[in-house]
């Protein structure tokens, strides 16, 4: 088998520079130019970029056991996340996934709906008509508050000294430091007194202190060794038992909580932020959203029972994650043996790259890919998208464990905000994508709040709920 086509790159660096300069668009360009499988070299590493859903299924599902996430990911992430779900492999990963899965059962996460709406309403109480806000910062704070409450029942107010706030600050330091390491392509030994290492050390000390305290308090509140179910994810993780009756150790709990906190807010925040941006640029796609929330909710806060009647709102979120997938690239997978994927031989030790950002913009799967068109995700049309051609949450045994949680959260937040405000992009700012661990707007996102209607706080004050779903209109597209 011959090696697939791809960019030549420079003698020593290979494709390092174009990738580091603008990773998303570089991957998109080579995917468009070279097709289903693209070979590239970065320094001495061999990468195969997969752009075909069948090949992607092979790597993520059918032959997943022949790959492991790349060493670079482990080196960078495990310093903070230890041996949690994101950063473990093999039988250990399978056990942890088994133990954590019940915490994400739909029945269980449905209990978090009220919390999600309540925190959104708190945010709206701060918003003032015609005010200009950094919506990226607001969404980040909101999703962090929600993950703190649902994960370990803590109020993540931003005051200093508050556990969740300190954990949040530590996570952001960690993300910053990790982004630098990804850009460099290697980690520096933790003992080197670089600025990043010093920052990471302090952040890690705070992070560990608070997480250990939270877990110890739970243990201390146990009665006769029985952990009380406080309704949060941590309770579920503590109560979880494997078939042999074993439960997670405190160290394992620490690693899983650290992982869920880190993985569980920035991604959702970015999805929401990009959705407000896309809607502000595409009035034709925004109009049905406002119609839908007005018809169904009539000024009251949404509940879980409303979600099936708000399908367009969900379509907006799905289309946003097509164009702006928060996880714009999956962790590279390293072949543990020689593997054949479709027509391609992937030698042991080489890496497979799957980049939702590039995949989701291929015209083969998404005609006029640069256009924001939520109607791609009507139930009928969504079925026509190849299963591994749309991957905001990854796929296979390592698919995002929080995917239902995140979709429910984004759905509720979007419906709560959309009926109260229309968000307009403040002109004159450059909206640039920062492709770091997640895909975020590089300089925040300043938006002006146009009021739509006042809140109706009690169900009694509201008009009866409209049960039928609004009809979708053909949405005119603007660039």
By CB under 6 A, name the binding residues for ligand HEM.
85-86, 97, 259-260, 263-264, 267-268, 271, 326-327, 330-331, 392-394, 398, 400-402, 405-406
Residues 41 and 48: their CA atoms lie apart, in Å, by: 9
Task: State the nearest-atom distance from the C-beta of 465 to ligand HEM, in Å.
Answer: 27
User: 7 or 392, CB closer to ligand HEM?
Assistant: 392
Residues 460 and 465: their CA atoms lie apart, in Å, by: 11
User: 137 or 477, CB closer to ligand HEM?
Assistant: 137
Could you report how far apart the first and last alpha carbons of the chain are, in Å? 42
In 3-state terms, what secondary structure has residue 280? helix
Task: State the nearest-atom distance from the C-beta of 320 to ligand HEM, in Å.
Answer: 9
Task: State the nearest-atom distance from the C-beta of 129 to ligand HEM, in Å.
Answer: 29
User: 68 or 218, CB closer to ligand HEM?
Assistant: 68
User: 109 or 449, CB closer to ligand HEM?
Assistant: 109
Task: State the nearest-atom distance from the C-beta of 427 to ligand HEM, in Å.
Answer: 28
User: 119 or 196, CB closer to ligand HEM?
Assistant: 119
Residues 15 and 461: their CA atoms lie apart, in Å, by: 61
**Residue 63 phi/psi, 5° resolution?**
-120, 25
User: 293 or 355, CB closer to ligand HEM?
Assistant: 355
User: 271 or 449, CB closer to ligand HEM?
Assistant: 271
Q: Is 345 left (phi over 0), alpha (psi -120 to 50) or beta?
A: beta
Output the CA–CA distances (angstroms, integers) from residue 256 to 34, 38, 205, 445, in the order listed. 40, 35, 17, 31
User: 323 or 449, CB closer to ligand HEM?
Assistant: 323
Residues 53 and 218: their CA atoms lie apart, in Å, by: 44
The label of the residue with tokens 């992009």 reads 425
Name the closest residue to ligand HEM (Cβ). 402
User: CA 426, 430, 436, 439: dihedral to nearest 10 degrees?
Assistant: 50
Task: State the nearest-atom distance from the C-beta of 95 to ligand HEM, in Å.
Answer: 11
CA nearest neighbour of 402 among 320, 331, 410? 410
Rounded to the nearest angstrom, the gap between the alpha carbon of residue 197 and the centroid of all alpha carbons in its chain is 26
User: 97 or 209, CB closer to ligand HEM?
Assistant: 97
Task: State the nearest-atom distance from the C-beta of 366 to ligand HEM, in Å.
Answer: 17
Encoded tokens for 302: 């949404």
Task: State the nearest-atom distance from the C-beta of 72 to ligand HEM, in Å.
Answer: 12
Q: According to the 3-state scheme, what is the secondary structure of 415-461?
A: HHHHCCEEEEECCCCCCCEEECCCEEEECECEEEEEECCCCECCHHH
Task: State the nearest-atom distance from the C-beta of 146 to ligand HEM, in Å.
Answer: 9
Residues 67 and 336: their CA atoms lie apart, in Å, by: 5
CA nearest neighbour of 302 among 413, 423, 406? 413
Task: State the nearest-atom distance from the C-beta of 177 to ligand HEM, in Å.
Answer: 20
Residues 23 and 185: their CA atoms lie apart, in Å, by: 13
Residues 367 and 278: their CA atoms lie apart, in Å, by: 18
Rounded to the nearest angstrom, the gap between the alpha carbon of residue 392 and the centroid of all alpha carbons in its chain is 8
User: Which residues have C-beta within 8 Å of that of residue 473, sequence separation ≥ 6?
Assistant: 287, 288
Q: Do 373 and 475 contact (CB within 8 A), yes or no?
A: yes
Task: State the nearest-atom distance from the C-beta of 5 to ligand HEM, in Å.
Answer: 25
Residues 203 and 81: their CA atoms lie apart, in Å, by: 12
User: 311 or 392, CB closer to ligand HEM?
Assistant: 392
User: 49 or 406, CB closer to ligand HEM?
Assistant: 406
Task: State the nearest-atom distance from the C-beta of 438 to ligand HEM, in Å.
Answer: 8
């Amino acid at each position: 088998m011959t090696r697939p086509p791809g960019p030549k790159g420079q003698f020593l660096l290979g494709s390092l520079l174009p990738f580091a300069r603008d990773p998303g668009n570089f991957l998109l360009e080579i995917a468009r130019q070279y097709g289903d499988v693209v070979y590239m070299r970065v320094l001495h590493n061999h990468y195969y970029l997969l752009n075909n859903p069948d090949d992607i299924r092979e790597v993520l599902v059918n032959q997943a056991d022949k790959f492991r996430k790349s060493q670079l990911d482990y080196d960078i992430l495990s310093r903070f996340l230890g041996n949690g779900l994101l950063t473990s492999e093999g039988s250990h990963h399978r056990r942890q996934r088994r133990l954590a899965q019940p915490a994400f059962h739909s029945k269980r996460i449905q209990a978090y709906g009220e919390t999600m709406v309540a925190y959104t309403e708190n945010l709206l109480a701060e918003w003032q008509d015609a005010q200009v806000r950094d919506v990226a910062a607001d969404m980040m704070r909101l999703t962090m508050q929600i993950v703190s409450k649902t994960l370990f029942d803590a109020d993540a107010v931003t005051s200093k000294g508050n556990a969740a706030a300190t954990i949040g600050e530590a996570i952001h330091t960690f993300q910053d430091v990790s982004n630098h390491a990804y850009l460099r392509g290697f980690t520096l030994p933790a003992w080197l007194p670089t600025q990043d290492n010093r920052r990471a050390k302090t952040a890690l000390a705070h992070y560990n202190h608070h997480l250990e305290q939270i877990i110890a308090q739970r243990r201390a509140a146990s009665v006769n060794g029985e952990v009380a179910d406080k309704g949060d994810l941590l309770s579920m993780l503590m109560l979880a038992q494997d078939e042999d009756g074993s439960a997670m150790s405190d160290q394992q709990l620490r690693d899983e909580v650290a992982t869920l906190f880190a993985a569980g807010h920035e991604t959702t925040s970015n999805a929401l932020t990009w959705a407000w941006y896309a809607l502000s640029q595409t009035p034709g796609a925004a109009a049905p959203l406002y119609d839908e929330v007005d018809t169904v909710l009539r000024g009251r806060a949404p509940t879980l029972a409303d979600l099936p009647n708000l399908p367009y709102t969900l379509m907006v979120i799905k289309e946003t994650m097509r164009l702006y997938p928060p996880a714009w690239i999956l962790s590279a997978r390293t072949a543990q043996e020689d593997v054949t994927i479709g027509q391609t031989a992937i030698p042991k030790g080489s890496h497979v790259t799957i980049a939702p950002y590039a995949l989701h913009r291929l015209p083969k799967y998404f005609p006029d890919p640069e256009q924001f068109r939520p109607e791609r995700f009507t139930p009928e049309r969504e079925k026509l998208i190849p299963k591994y051609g749309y991957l905001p949450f990854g796929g296979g045994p390592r698919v995002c464990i929080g995917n239902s949680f995140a979709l429910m959260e984004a759905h509720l937040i979007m419906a709560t905000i959309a009926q109260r405000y229309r968000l307009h992009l403040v002109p004159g700012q450059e909206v640039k994508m920062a492709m770091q661990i997640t895909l975020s707007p590089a300089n925040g996102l300043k938006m002006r709040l146009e009021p739509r209607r006042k809140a109706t706080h009690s169900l009694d004050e509201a008009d009866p709920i409209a049960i039928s779903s609004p009809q979708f209109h053909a949405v005119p597209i603007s660039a």
